[in-house]
Structure 1
């Protein structure tokens, strides 16, 4: 889907209508469950995308890269990040969602929110977006070794922050793909 042509505004509008829910879920994860920050992050990414829409060959990949780079910029800021409240009830699940999967969402969301922005970003890119290490390294502007070590340390920290994830049992682990653990919209 290219933004080229006279009806590029219609193309952009269609893109936003069809892909914004998926992009928002990614943004929510990148922001540690803070939906308001995620909406701001996505809105800024879409504004940047609109300015270059006619020259973009793969709009979704472009928007995702803008999301990741903006989030990287946030954790590079000098002032400390404000604390995010995550004491919300779980989202209304689909009929096939079990209580264990809903509990997993709440626990995972809270644990992700307690990771550093860099740790959370690497985990989201690797496991939610299912990107290979090389692509994550390219997006974050670091080496593959840095991605590997950050992933390893982030998973160890996640296990420390949420030991109850292991207590949920193998049935949940087998039934939950990273994309099934949605955090929003």
Structure 2
């Protein structure tokens, strides 16, 4: 890699690092695993820097895939079954917005990783069903199913009624893209 490419890569990492960490955390629910996922993804991006046309999209896709892979590893399941529950983030100022975010993040962490990843990509990243399916390497129908089931579980855990006219209710498949 020449100096210009190296400088461009460093600039990209400095600008994108916090967003990539946040995306990885929302996907896997653990800051250490999120950091591992981001580092793994950025190492792969570094090796392919000159070949990648859209580094932001590539990095985000790789981070989600790496975060999902980190959670699927057998040691993680074993540690989670034996270890204590994840600690709740501290709420410092007690404002309703902060409390709501902490509550939603806590509920999001309880979802299976595929449902969590589908919800993060669809609603927090704003990706389409097709883009989400490509990122997660699964059929679009699976994305729709995971989205609908994840939303239903979130509503249940947050004790929120299903919105009137909802297209992604319990037992239904999301119809919109």
Q: TM-score, normalised by structure 1?
A: 0.76
Q: Does 1:40 align with 2:49?
A: no
Of the three residues 113, 117, 121, the one matched with 2:113 is 117
Q: Does 1:57 align with 2:53?
A: yes
> Does the 8 Å CA contact 1:27/1:39 hold for their aligned counterparts?
yes
- Counting only pairs closer than 5 Å after superposition, residues 141-160 of structure 1 correspond to structure 2 as 141-160=137-156
Q: Could you say if the C-alpha distance between residues 108 and 81 of structure 1 is closer, same or farther in structure 2, counting changes exceeding 3 Å?
A: farther
Partner of 2:24: 27
Q: Does 1:13 align with 2:10?
A: yes
Q: TM-score, normalised by structure 2?
A: 0.79
- Residue segments in structure 1 that go unaligned for 5+ positions in a row: 93-97, 168-185
- Counting only pairs closer than 5 Å after superposition, residues 68-147 of structure 1 correspond to structure 2 as 68-78=64-74, 80=77, 82-83=79-80, 85-90=86-91, 99-147=95-143
> Does the 8 Å CA contact 2:28/2:68 hold for their aligned counterparts?
no
> Across the two proteins, how many residue pairs are aligned to each other?
156
> Does the 8 Å CA contact 1:5/1:54 hold for their aligned counterparts?
no
Structure 1 residue 76: Cα displacement: 4.2
Moved over 6 A (4+): none
Which has the bigger relative contact order, CA under 8 A and spacing at least 6?
Answer: 1
For 1:124 and 1:81, locate their aligned partners in 2 and report how far apart those are by CA, in whole Å: 25
Structure 1 residue 25: Cα displacement: 1.1
SS in 2 for 1:131: coil
